[in-house]
Amino acid sequence: MAVRSDPLDELVVPDGTEAKEVALETDGDVLVGARSSVEFGVRGRNVLAGENVEFGGEIEADGDCRLDMWCDVAENVLVGQDAYIGERVHIAGELKVAGDLDIGDDVDIEEGFEANGWIVIRNPMPTIVLLFVYLKHLLVVGEEETAQRLISELVDEDGEEPETEPLVIPRNATVSDDAWRVSTPARIGDDCRLHGNVRAESIDVGADCNIFGSLRARGDITVGPKTRIHGDLTTRNGDVTIAEDARILGDVSCRALELGPEAEIDGTIRANGEITMGTTKREDE
> Residue 138 has what pLDDT?
56
Record the pTM.
0.82
pLDDT at 150: 56
> Measured between alpha carbons, how far is 219 from 182 in angstroms, rounded to an integer?
13
CA distances from 136 to 31, 36, 132, 147, 159 (A): 17, 21, 6, 9, 21
pLDDT, position 22: 82
Helix (H) or strand (E) holding 253: strand 252-254
**Is pLDDT above 90 for 125?**
no
Provide the pLDDT for residue 4.
45
**Domain range summary for the chain, segments of one domain joined by +:** 14-176, 178-284
Q: Are 46 and 65 in contact (CB under 8 A)?
A: yes
* Predicted pLDDT at 73: 98
Model confidence at 149, in pLDDT bands (50, 70, 90)? low
pLDDT of residue 194: 94
**Banded pLDDT at 2 (limits 50, 70, 90):** very low
CA distance 178 to 172: 16
pLDDT bucket at 7, cuts 50 / 70 / 90: low
144 phi, psi to nearest 5 deg? -65, -35
What pLDDT is attached to residue 218? 96
How confident is the model over 78-116, as pLDDT tens digits? 999 999 999 999 999 999 999 999 998 899 999 999 999
* Mean local confidence (pLDDT), 248-266: 96
* Distance from C-alpha of 120 to C-alpha of 175, rounded to nearest angstrom: 32
